[in-house]
Amino acid sequence: MQEPSPEDMGQGKVLGPQKLEIVFEEYMADLGRWLQDGVMEVNLEFLKKFDLLSKTEEQEKEMQKQFPFYFHVVETPEKVTLFNNQFAIWIVPKLISDTPTTITLVSLIRGDTPHLEIAFSTQGVYNTPKYVLKVLRHFLTEVIDTEEEIASIWKVEGE
């Protein structure tokens, strides 16, 4: 397990694995309740839409520099849980219709509660760590950008 860096530490506190496990079980029991848009399927069209295929090695390195997150990691036979003060992420391998599939849930932590923001699944040729991590990085960046935009709106309205 890697401790979050000072840059990674924000307003929220890092939740413990036990609380995260309870929240995960609630989410998995009824994903449709938590995600109105459902679980996004990663395929070629998806990867092209978000420009996740055409990055050069240099662009990938630059993106990595702009993505300085550190996560605690808890690995069990059922899933990998990544968490810090800002996000809780569950990466869950499953066999769906005899096809190896990975379902990834991304929650934003507000206060001391994770809020499920996005879920996506990869299968077939897209079910590799390379694609799971590219899509995960994309969505984490999107969530951060959205949160910054919301914060700036609140700041302007509060002045």
Give residue-wise pLDDT tens across range 86-99.
Answer: 999 999 999 999 99
- Give domain status of residue 6, yes or no: no
- Give domain status of residue 68, yes or no: yes
- Give domain status of residue 11, yes or no: no
What per-residue confidence (pLDDT) applies to 6? 35
Q: Is the four-CA dihedral 56, 48, 118, 128 of positive or negative sign? A: negative
What per-residue confidence (pLDDT) applies to 54? 78
Distances in Å between the Cα of 101 and the Cα atoms of 44, 65, 93, 97, 156 are 16, 29, 6, 9, 43
What per-residue confidence (pLDDT) applies to 77? 94
Lowest pLDDT segment from 10-19, 20-29, 129-138, 146-155:
10-19
pTM over 0.75: yes
pLDDT at 156 over 80: no
pLDDT at 66 over 70: no
Structural domain including 141 reads 17-158
Domain count of the chain? 1
- Give domain status of residue 1, yes or no: no
